[in-house]
Structure 1
């Protein structure tokens, strides 16, 4: 089976206090933009728009049926939110975007990434596969969805939040997913 390498560079603003990690991007045919959470059927940017702007469509370009990368990037830079994924190389065991059918061939060097983000004290994983992959690297027990666990990395106190997947395949209404993310963003005093 073909090995896919990650198609995007890590998005690591120098001021990042939060590192958000998914599992791996969907196939390019599902992308609506060249950036993270590109699938039109993924609700991440709707969740963020709802929480920070009280408008789930804030980051959408509905005419193009795409997300607006030119609005997303400055927002992330201002808020200090870094993005990447827990896998750098994968195999798709089925021809779809489901994490259930991803085999992680090469996990991301999260420790190396954290060393490049000295202000980062929080990691959030956005789904089951991302949480599993990260917890294996740091020998952590998985927190429940919506909860966090604390650990120490290089003498730095850290929190790992496990959030619900923003994929529509995860059977939870947008507003309920946003309510879970709201608690995390409030804990971090970002809202």
Structure 2
């Protein structure tokens, strides 16, 4: 089985109040076989949509290439906005070498709660996906169960993006389960009533525009 380890340490600026939490980047980031238009940083896959969405949302004029400048652009943005990145999965095993979340087996999780206890200014977790099997929220819930502490997620909103809250050492922390910034989520977006309503009024509206609309209030 392929041992899919996370290639990046958490990136958490000192001023971070928000933490982006996903699972694992594609296996080629672990093996180092990056493509020319991959960026060697979190969410740097040429096929990923997080940075294109943030690029349009904040007019960042990002480079999409395997260069140090492309990495620095993203780090500068995160530092300026007080946003960190710490995916919940440290490693997994795979029978098939691909980027499917469902293909992850024998998953080892990062200690997100421990990281929150070190970074006391963080008040929001931005999950890049929901509670479907092997998604970021799914694994975070498993992490809470594994800790055997009395930390429970309280529903604030069941509308997409779903919002929960929990209390950690007397500190209130929000979680937001965003629509995943991956092509595989486009079908789910297409079935959403809000998307269909906007698309009817504006045929040019697409799934990238939908994510921009959704992410706008959280970044």
Any conservation in 1 of the 2:4–2:92 contact (CA below 8 Å)?
A: yes
Residue in structure 2 matching 1:72, options 62, 66, 74: 74
Separation in structure 1 between the aligned mates of residue 53 and residue 83 of structure 2, nearest angstrom: 15
User: 1:140, CA displacement in angstroms?
Assistant: 3.2
Paired residues in the alignment total 180
The aligned residue for residue 45 of structure 1 is 51
The aligned residue for residue 123 of structure 1 is 125
Cα RMSD for the two superposed structures: 2.2
Task: Tell me, yes or no, if structure 1 residue 147 matches structure 2 residue 196.
Answer: no
Task: Please give the TM-score of this superposition, normalised by the length of structure 2.
Answer: 0.75
Query: Structure 1, residues 44-97: CA drift from partner, whole Å, max 9, x if none?
Result: 0111111122x6xx2233xx4879212110110111111021111111242211
- Structure 2: state its 5+ residue gaps: 145-151, 190-206
The aligned residue for residue 192 of structure 2 is none
- Structure 1: state its 5+ residue gaps: 186-191
Structure 1 stretch displaced more, 173-182 or 29-38: 29-38
Separation in structure 2 between the aligned mates of residue 145 and residue 91 of structure 1, nearest angstrom: 30
Residue in structure 2 matching 1:169, options 172, 180, 184: 184
Whose radius of gyration is greater, 1 or 2?
Answer: 2
Separation in structure 2 between the aligned mates of residue 72 and residue 65 of structure 1, nearest angstrom: 13
Separation in structure 1 between the aligned mates of residue 76 and residue 143 of structure 2, nearest angstrom: 30
Task: Tell me, yes or no, if structure 1 residue 156 matches structure 2 residue 190.
Answer: no
The residue matched to 2:183 in structure 1 has which SS?
coil
The aligned residue for residue 83 of structure 2 is 81
Greater RCO (CA < 8 Å, at least 6 residues apart): 1
The residue matched to 1:49 in structure 2 has which SS?
helix
- Structure 1's consecutive aligned runs of 4 or more residues displaced over 6 angstroms after TM superposition are none
Structure 1 stretch displaced more, 88-97 or 107-116: 88-97
